[in-house]
């Protein structure tokens, strides 16, 4: 589904991704962990198509097509979704009013008919229930005055609405209490099937108790320095990142 080969990217002369390799198949959950500043959000942004980053080397194939050739909105319509680490506020634009445009743009992209008002509302209701989010919240200006938990839940709500092939959750767990964490995890797990895949970017092992990964990768200094199964996450939890850094710095 996703094949990243030797990906290098930089922002303003500063190289941040320094040769990433990653293969993701349908049905898989991959966790990407790593200390702060290691490049996790950068990787997510580059995949989502943020233009501030310049890819200097390498390739990314998504569902058999060259991802890096696509505009950000085209990637989303092809089935890529990014739940932002820091969802921004957009005054005057409610989730409801841009989601309708988004859903129908994606449907059109796949040759499907636009949803009418009734069907759209039905879909909304169903997905709202999944992430236990209130309609009133969705009618308000996006993220304006939302609590941290509400912002993250809104991200997962949007993911549920758009049913992506590949979802990248960038620290969706940070700032969530345990109840909110369970709701978010339940949403993600419900949406999971054999045809889609998830990348869970996280700092802590905690989320991985609820969203169980097939693979865990450690990103450090712009490279994946270690990969393993969910036991690796537990080890990181127990031992911290210093041993990883030492190992990586020794071989670098």
Partner 1 sequence: MEKIAGQSILNSLETQFEAFEKGLNGQSQSAAHAVRKEAFTSLMNSGFPGPKSEEYKFTNFTKAVEKNFELNAANADFGLSNTQVSGTQIQGLDAHKIVFLNGVYSSDLSDNIQVEGLKVESLAEGFKSNSALSQENFGTKAKFAEDAFVALNTAFSQHGVTIEIADKAVIEKPIVLYFIGDSSKAELSYHIRNIVVAGKFSQATIIEKFDTVGEHKSFTTSVNEISVSESAHLRFFKIENDTEQAYHISNIHASQGANSNFKVFTFSLNGAMIRNNLNVKLQAEGIETYMNGLYLLDGKTHVDNHTVADHMMPNCYSNELYKGIMDGSSKGVFNGKIFVRPDAQKTNAFQSNKNILISDRATVNTKPQLEIWADDVSCSHGCTTGQLDMDALFYLRARGIPRDKALAILLKAFANDVLETVENEAIKEYLAAIIETRLEK
Ligand X SMILES: Nc1ncnc2c1ncn2[C@@H]1O[C@H](COP(=O)(O)OP(=O)(O)O)[C@@H](O)[C@H]1O
Q: Angle, nearest 10°, between helix axes 95-109 and 148-162?
A: 30
41 binds Mg ion (CB under 5 A): yes
In 38-83, DSSP assigns E strands to 54-62, 65-66, 80-83
Residue 112 backbone phi and psi in degrees, to 5 = -100, 155
- Site residues (CB under 5 A) for Mg ion, limited to 70-89: 85
The residue among 54 and 237 lying less far from partner 1, judged by its C-beta, is 54
The residue among 127 and 202 lying less far from Mg ion, judged by its C-beta, is 202
The minimum distance between CB 46 and ligand X, in angstroms, equals 9
Q: CA 54, 47, 161 angle in degrees (round to 5)? A: 145
Q: Which option in ligand X, Mg ion, partner 1, none does residue 102 bind, with CB closer than 5 to 8 A by kind?
A: partner 1
Q: How far apart are CA 98 and CA 100, in angstroms?
A: 5
> Cα dist. 155→19, 29, 69, 177 in Å?
29, 18, 25, 16
The residue among 71 and 179 lying less far from partner 1, judged by its C-beta, is 71
- Site residues (CB under 6 A) for ligand X, limited to 36-55: 36-42, 52
- 10 Å CB burial of residue 145 (0-12, 13-18, 19+) is exposed
The residue among 154 and 221 lying less far from partner 1, judged by its C-beta, is 154
Q: Which option in partner 1, ligand X, Mg ion, none does residue 38 bind, with CB closer than 5 to 8 A by kind?
A: ligand X
The minimum distance between CB 119 and ligand X, in angstroms, equals 38
Contacts to ligand X by CB under 6 A: 11-12, 14, 16, 34, 36-42, 52
């Amino acid at each position: 589904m996703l094949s990243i080969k030797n990906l290098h990217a930089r922002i303003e002369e500063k190289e941040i991704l320094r040769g990433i390799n990653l293969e993701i198949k349908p049905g898989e959950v991959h966790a990407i962990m790593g200390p702060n500043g290691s490049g996790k959000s950068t990787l997510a942004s580059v995949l989502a198509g943020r233009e501030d980053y310049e890819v200097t080397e390498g390739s990314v194939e998504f569902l058999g097509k060259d991802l890096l050739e696509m505009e950000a909105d085209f990637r989303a319509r092809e089935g890529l979704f990014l739940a932002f680490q820091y969802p921004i506020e957009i005054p005057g634009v409610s989730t409801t009013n841009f989601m309708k445009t988004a859903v129908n743009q994606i449907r059109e992209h796949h040759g499907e008919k636009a949803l009418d008002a009734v069907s759209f509302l039905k879909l909304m209701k169903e997905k709202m229930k999944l992430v236990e989010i209130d309609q009133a919240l969705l009618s308000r200006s996006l993220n304006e005055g939302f609590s941290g938990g509400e912002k993250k839940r809104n991200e997962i709500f949007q993911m549920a609405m758009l049913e992506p092939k590949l979802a990248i959750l960038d620290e969706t767990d940070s700032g969530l209490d345990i109840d909110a964490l369970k709701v978010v995890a339940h949403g993600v797990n419900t949406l999971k099937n054999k045809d889609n895949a998830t990348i869970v970017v996280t700092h802590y092992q905690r989320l991985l108790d609820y969203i169980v990964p097939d693979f865990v990768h450690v990103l450090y200094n712009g490279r994946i320095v270690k990969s393993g199964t969910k036991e690796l996450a537990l080890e990181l939890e127990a031992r911290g990142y210093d041993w990883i850094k030492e190992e990586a710095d020794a071989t670098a």
